[in-house]
Every structure is written in C-alpha cells, then in structure tokens.
Amino acid sequence: MYPKLEKEYNSKTLKEVTFVIDTAYNGVAETGDGKVTFSSKYMTKYPGDIDVVTHEVMHIIQNYGNGAGPGWLTEGTADYIRFKFGVDNKGAGWKLPYFKPSQNYDNAYRITARFLVWIEKNIKPDFVKSFDAQLRSHTFTDESWKNATGKTVDELWAAYSANTQI
C-alpha cells in the first residue's frame, strides 16, 4: 500500500517507516515521525481491520506538519484513502456511513471522507490530490474549495445535503 500511495501522492515521502505493536497501548493506532503504533489489544479483537494500516501510513505520506489546515480534513483524507485504496474494507465491515442531517463536513474521518468522495463524483474529479499537495506545501486556505470547485465548503455541503448519492 505504501509504495502505491507514495507514487500517487508524495514521491518525497519517507523511504523507511517503523511499525510498533504495543501491548500497553489502549488506542487503535497513531502515527508520528515515521512511526506507526498499533494496539495489540485492538488488532487481536478486530484482526480483519487491516486497513487501519492504510489510514495510518497515509498520515506519513501526508506529512502536513503543524498549521497546514484543519485536522478534520487530514483525518477525512486518510479515511478517503482507506475507502479508495483499502485492501479489505468489506472484510472489516468498514464502510462510509450514509448521510444524516445531523452531520457536518468537519465531523472528520468517514463523514468527511464520504463528502470528499461525493465532491469528486459530482463536482470535481481528483481534487483531493491537489488539496493534499496544498496542505503539504502550506498553501491551503478556505479559498481552496472555491478555487477547485467554484463553491465554498458550506455551499458544497448544502449541495451534498440535497443529493447525497455517491
């Protein structure tokens, strides 16, 4: 997965990454400085959820640093990548949740991911790749939505709310 994401998104990404299986860690997984920590408790309980790896290594590819953009977009993009490139989301019972009126684009993770998929399908194919590059070069702004799609993020969410099929 990692070489595939490297080729698609960031050819300058780290060439060596470290995986740690931590028996004392109570989260699911986390990534920083080229190191992914996985919870042995979680992976023992959910052995089919191997695309936790896909989500986490995308964070290494992203390498946005501090202040690059909203955290919800970083996490939404990592789940968008899991949706698009995951090797066995079905086996894990992992899918994008249906739209609900109580949601908002900044809910992060799968809710944001589905919004990104919808935008690519209905408004602007492949825009996530350009957002990813902008976030990495710290050139992403609120205007980026309008520049890419002709709509603000709020206008996009309103359009998505009105027609949620992906």
What are the residues binding Zn ion (CB under 5 A)?
75, 78
Shortest gap between Cβ of 7 and Zn ion (angstroms)?
Answer: 21
Nearer to Zn ion, 66 or 165 (CB): 66
Sign of CA pseudo-dihedral 46, 128, 141, 60: positive
Nearer to Zn ion, 22 or 149 (CB): 22
Nearest to 157 by CA among 115, 123, 97, 127: 115
Shortest gap between Cβ of 145 and Zn ion (angstroms)?
Answer: 21
Nearer to Zn ion, 78 or 135 (CB): 78
Distance CA 122, CA 160 (A): 9
Residues 6+ apart with CB under 8 A from 133: 9
Give whole-number Cα distances, 148 to 33, 63, 141, 156, in Å: 30, 22, 11, 11
Nearer to Zn ion, 51 or 145 (CB): 51
Residue whose token pair is 């027609």:
163
Shortest gap between Cβ of 155 and Zn ion (angstroms)?
Answer: 27
Using Cβ positions, the residue closest to Zn ion within the complex turns out to be: 78
Shortest gap between Cβ of 75 and Zn ion (angstroms)?
Answer: 5
